[in-house]
Amino acid sequence: MTFSPSEYWNERLKKNFNLVGVGDISMGMAYNKLSYAITRSGLHSIYRKYCADKNGHILDIGSGIGFIITTWRDAGYENIDGSDISTYAVEQLKKAFPAYGFCELDIAKNIDVLNGKKYDYVTCASVLYHIVDNDNWQNALVNIRSAMNIGGTFVFSEGFPVENFDITHQVSRSREHYKQALKAAGFEVVKSMPNYVLMSDPTGTNSLLYKYWWALSVRISRRFPKLAYMWWGCVYPIEWLLTRIKSTTPAQEFWICKAI
């Protein structure tokens, strides 16, 4: 059976329209709540440095339950549009955020629904690796660039595995693959920085220490949900510090790119 992203996300979000639904669905709320708090902190740091114009026009791709929308709003931006491949998500987003514009968008196909609008800042957090077809993935990067003003800032997150990672709804690609595709699409990579160090699958390393750490954390999250709140509560401040002092990570990264 051919994988249908829109059907997959419609069904998934209808069952769990919350952080678990848009995050790691196998890890429970304790993990997802605090991992998203780390992401929020990281994005606010990026906005301050690379998205200085509070009047800039913003497009969030794969808005889901609206988490990234809230990071922009809470940072003081107003000109915010969101999008998602899921009809159900867009319906809920319009109700939750009536001040902003939302559309149903498959960024891998075309951007006609944007009606030619150009954006200064585009976020695409934990989305691109859910585009499993390589041609569609490349098309998505081209479409994102086409929706942006020259000099605009594009922020996305990815795990960059040392070995191919390919499951039904997720394909993670290497740094080199991304560099080539981003250049071809019309982007310049400006900066990379950790999104996570300890709070995500360490796909970017073969270190047994990191892999043991993650296996233990997964076991606790899945088998002992009450203990997971204490576990991740202790990890959170360490993770917050590590994402600020480390320049590299074995886990998921943010990449900040400039539209050229």
Strand partners, 80: 58
Query: Cα separation of 252 and 198, whole Å?
Result: 10
pLDDT in tens, 121-135: 999 999 999 999 999
Q: What is the pLDDT of residue 162?
A: 85
* Average pLDDT of the chain to the nearest whole number: 95
Measured CA to CA in angstroms, residue 13 lies from 38, 46, 114, 250 at distances of 22, 28, 23, 29
Positive or negative CA dihedral for 107, 108, 109, 110? positive
Instruction: For each of the domains in the chain, give its residue range(s) and CATH number, in order of start.
Output: 5-259 (3.40.50.150)
What is this structure's pTM?
0.95
In 30-69 the beta strands, taken as DSSP E runs, fall at 58-61
Q: Which residues lie below 8 Å from residue 157, measured CB to CB, with a gap of 6+?
A: 39, 124, 125, 126, 195, 252, 253, 254, 255
pLDDT at 5: 85
> Rounded mean pLDDT of 209-220?
97
Mean pLDDT value across residues 158-184 = 86
Instruction: Give the DSSP H/E element, type plus range, for residue 47.
Output: helix 28-50
Distance CA 222, CA 31 (A): 10
Residue 170 is predicted with a pLDDT of 83
The pLDDT confidence band at residue 57, using thresholds 50, 70 and 90, is: very high
Average pLDDT over residues 129-154: 96
Token digits for 95? 């109700």
| pLDDT at 1 exceeding the cut of 90 | no
How far lies 127's CA from each of 112, 121, 169, 198, 243, in Å? 20, 16, 11, 20, 20
pLDDT at 166: 61
The per-residue pLDDT for 165 is 65
pLDDT at 168 over 70: no
Phi first, then psi: what are they for 239, rounded to 5°? -65, -45
Tell me how far apart the alpha carbons of residues 53 and 198 are, in angstroms, rounded to a whole number: 32
List, for residues 14-56, the tens digit of each pLDDT value: 999 999 999 999 999 999 999 999 999 999 999 999 999 999 9
State the pLDDT at residue 172.
Answer: 87
pLDDT of residue 164 exceeding 70, the answer is: no
**Own/partner pairs, 93-102, CB within 8 angstroms, 24+ separation:** 93/63, 93/65, 93/66, 93/69, 96/66, 97/66, 97/69, 97/73, 100/69, 102/63
> What is the pLDDT confidence band of residue 184, given thresholds at 50, 70 and 90?
very high
